[in-house]
Structure 1
Amino acid sequence: MTYFPAADRYREMIYRRAGRSGLKLPAISLGLWHNFGDSRPADRQRAIVRRAFDLGVTHFDLANNYGPPPGSAETNFGAILGTDLKHHRDELVISSKAGYTMWDGPYGDWGSRKYLVASLDQSLRRMGLDYVDVFYHHRPDPETPLEETMTALDAIVRSGKALYVGISNYRSEQAAQAADLLRELGTPLLIHQPSYSMLNRWIEHDRLLDTLEAAGAGCIAFSPLQQGLLTDRYLTGIPEDSRIRTSVFLDESALDNQTLARLHTLDDIAKRRGQSLAQMALAWALRDERMTSLIIGASSVEQLENNVAALGRLGFDQSELDEIDATVLDL
Structure 2
Amino acid sequence: MTYIPDPQRYERQPYRRSGRSGLLLPTLSLGLWHNFGDVDRFDTARDMLLGAFDRGITHFDLANNYGPPPGSAEVTMGRVLREDLHAHRDELIISTKAGYRMQPGPYGEWGSRKYLIASLDASLKRLGLPYVDIFYSHRPDPDTPLEETMSALDFAVRSGRALYVGLSNYSVEQTRKASAILKRLGTPCVIHQPRYSMLDRWVEGGLLDTLAEEGIGCIAFSPLAQGILTERYLSSAIPADSRAAKGGFLKPTDLTEGKLAVVRALKAIADARGQTLPQLALTWVLRHAGMTSVLVGASRLAQIDDALGAANGAALTEAELAAVEAALRLESAQTP
What range describes the TM-score normalised by the shorter chain of this pair?
over 0.9
In structure 1, how many angstroms separate the alpha carbons of the residues matched to 2:245 and 2:110? 29
CA contact (8 A) 1:98 1:120 kept: yes
Q: Tell me how far 1:12 sits from its aligned partner.
A: 2.2
CA contact (8 A) 2:196 2:285 kept: yes
In structure 1, how many angstroms separate the alpha carbons of the residues matched to 2:190 and 2:239? 39
1:328 alignment partner AA: L
In structure 1, how many angstroms separate the alpha carbons of the residues matched to 2:68 and 2:183? 36
Residue 111 of structure 1: SS of its match in structure 2?
coil
1:269 alignment partner AA: I
CA contact (8 A) 2:13 2:312 kept: no
Farther off after superposition, 307-316 or 253-262: 307-316
Q: TM-score, normalised by structure 2?
A: 0.97
Matched, 1:110 2:110: yes
Farther off after superposition, 136-145 or 233-242: 233-242
* CA RMSD across the alignment: 0.9
Q: Deviations over 1:157-178 (max 9, x none)?
A: 0001000000000011110100
- Percentage identity across paired residues of the two chains: 58
> What residue in structure 2 maps to residue 48 of structure 1?
48
1:231 alignment partner AA: T
Q: Deviations over 1:3-23 (max 9, x none)?
A: 100000001211000000000
> What residue in structure 1 maps to residue 211 of structure 2?
212
CA contact (8 A) 1:66 1:73 kept: yes
Q: Tell me how far 1:314 sits from its aligned partner.
A: 4.0
2:234 alignment partner AA: L
CA contact (8 A) 1:287 1:314 kept: no
In structure 2, how many angstroms separate the alpha carbons of the residues matched to 1:307 and 1:160? 34
Residue 75 of structure 1: SS of its match in structure 2?
helix
In structure 1, how many angstroms separate the alpha carbons of the residues matched to 2:104 and 2:311? 42
Q: TM-score, normalised by structure 1?
A: 0.98
> What residue in structure 2 maps to residue 24 of structure 1?
24
Matched, 1:127 2:130: no
Residue 190 of structure 2: SS of its match in structure 1?
strand
1:216 alignment partner AA: G
> What residue in structure 1 maps to residue 230 of structure 2?
231
Residue 303 of structure 1: SS of its match in structure 2?
helix
> What residue in structure 1 maps to residue 149 of structure 2?
149
> What residue in structure 2 maps to residue 320 of structure 1?
320
Q: Tell me how far 1:39 sits from its aligned partner.
A: 1.2
Matched, 1:182 2:188: no
Residue 250 of structure 2: SS of its match in structure 1?
coil
> What residue in structure 2 maps to residue 69 of structure 1?
69
Moved over 6 A (4+): none
CA contact (8 A) 1:48 1:300 kept: yes
Number of matched residues? 330
Q: Deviations over 1:285-321 (max 9, x none)?
A: 0001200000011100111111122222140110110
In structure 2, how many angstroms separate the alpha carbons of the residues matched to 1:280 and 1:62? 25
Matched, 1:200 2:200: yes
Gaps of 5+ in 1: none
In structure 2, how many angstroms separate the alpha carbons of the residues matched to 1:124 and 1:285? 31
Farther off after superposition, 26-35 or 309-318: 309-318
In structure 2, how many angstroms separate the alpha carbons of the residues matched to 1:311 and 1:274? 14
Residue 29 of structure 2: SS of its match in structure 1?
strand
Residue 107 of structure 1: SS of its match in structure 2?
coil
In structure 2, how many angstroms separate the alpha carbons of the residues matched to 1:293 and 1:191? 10
In structure 1, how many angstroms separate the alpha carbons of the residues matched to 2:220 and 2:120? 22
In structure 1, how many angstroms separate the alpha carbons of the residues matched to 2:171 and 2:240? 35
In structure 2, how many angstroms separate the alpha carbons of the residues matched to 1:65 and 1:216? 29
Residue 86 of structure 1: SS of its match in structure 2?
helix
Q: Deviations over 1:181-235 (max 9, x none)?
A: 0000000001000000001000012x11110111111000000000000010111
> What residue in structure 1 maps to residue 295 of structure 2?
295
Report matched runs for 1:240-259 at 5 Å. Answer: 240-259=240-259
Q: Tell me how far 1:38 sits from its aligned partner.
A: 0.7
CA contact (8 A) 2:5 2:53 kept: yes
Gaps of 5+ in 2: none
2:98 alignment partner AA: A
> What residue in structure 1 maps to residue 89 of structure 2?
89
Q: Tell me how far 1:103 sits from its aligned partner.
A: 1.0
In structure 2, how many angstroms separate the alpha carbons of the residues matched to 1:215 and 1:310? 27
